[in-house]
Amino acid sequence: MICPLAQVEEVFKTKHGAVYQCSRKNCYWLEFQETTTAFKISDFFLLKKRIDALDIARMLADTSRTADFEIIMPHRTERCFILSVQDILNLREILTGAKFMIELNSEVKKILRKDAVLAI
Long-range contacts of 46-53 (CB under 8 A, 24+ apart): 46/74, 46/75, 47/72, 47/74, 47/75, 47/95, 48/95, 48/96, 48/98, 48/99, 50/74, 51/88, 51/91, 51/92, 51/95, 52/92, 52/95, 52/96
Q: What pLDDT was estimated at residue 99?
A: 96
Residue 118 pLDDT more than 70? no
Residue 7: band (very low, low, confident or very high) from pLDDT cuts 50, 70, 90: confident
| pLDDT, tens digit, 9 for 90 and up, residues 65-74 | 889 999 999 9
- Give the mean model confidence (pLDDT) for residues 52-70: 93
Residue 24: band (very low, low, confident or very high) from pLDDT cuts 50, 70, 90: confident
